[in-house]
């Protein structure tokens, strides 16, 4: 089941999509900027369901949700309570987002280090070639 929550975090409008599959919770967050239109929210929901949640590497274990038939009026009351609380994402979703952010940070550091080492090696080779060229004329 996928739950999409759109909320205002004080500065920007953001959307969080959470999917709970057999006790594994994955979450993705996107920042809309200005207040999103209904079209933006629908597009985010489709994108989150189709691509982003599948691409999320990190996840958190969550309890399996019991499937029970609930009185529609009671379900409406619970939905209204959730909307009134407007906390944004659940704590489990926040943990999943935090893990995803940390994984991206580690990956970014690795690529930056690799790029820095390649640049250093290239400069060293250029310096050696220049030195060899100067020495060659004697």
Q: Is 62 within a domain?
A: yes
Q: Is 84 within a domain?
A: yes
Q: What is the pLDDT of residue 111?
A: 96
Mark the ranges of the chain whose per-residue pLDDT is less than 50: none
Secondary structure of residue 21 in the 3-state scheme? strand
Q: What is the pLDDT of residue 19?
A: 78
Q: How far apart are CA 57 and CA 36, in angstroms?
A: 27
Residue numbers of the domain that contains 17: 2-103
24-33 β-sheet, strand order? 2-8, 13-21, 24-33, 60-61
Which ranges constitute the DSSP H helices of 11-90? Answer: 38-47, 53-55, 72-85
Q: Is 138 within a domain?
A: no
Two tokens, residue 122: 């290239």
Residue given tokens 């409008």 in the structure block: 13
Q: What is the pLDDT of residue 115?
A: 97
């Amino acid at each position: 089941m996928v739950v999409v929550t759109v909320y205002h975090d004080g500065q920007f409008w953001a959307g969080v999509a959470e999917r709970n599959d057999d006790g594994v919770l994955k979450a993705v967050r996107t920042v809309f900027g200005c207040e999103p239109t209904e079209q933006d929210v629908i597009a985010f929901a489709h994108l989150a369901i189709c691509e982003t949640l599948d691409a999320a590497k990190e996840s958190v274990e969550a309890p399996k949700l019991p499937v029970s038939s609930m009185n529609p009026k009671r379900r409406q009351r619970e939905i209204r309570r959730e909307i009134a609380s407007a906390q944004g994402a659940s704590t489990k979703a926040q943990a999943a987002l935090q893990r995803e952010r940390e994984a991206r940070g580690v990956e970014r550091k690795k690529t930056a280090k690799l790029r820095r080492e390649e640049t250093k090696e290239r400069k060293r080779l250029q310096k050696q070639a220049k030195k060899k060229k100067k020495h060659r004329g004697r």
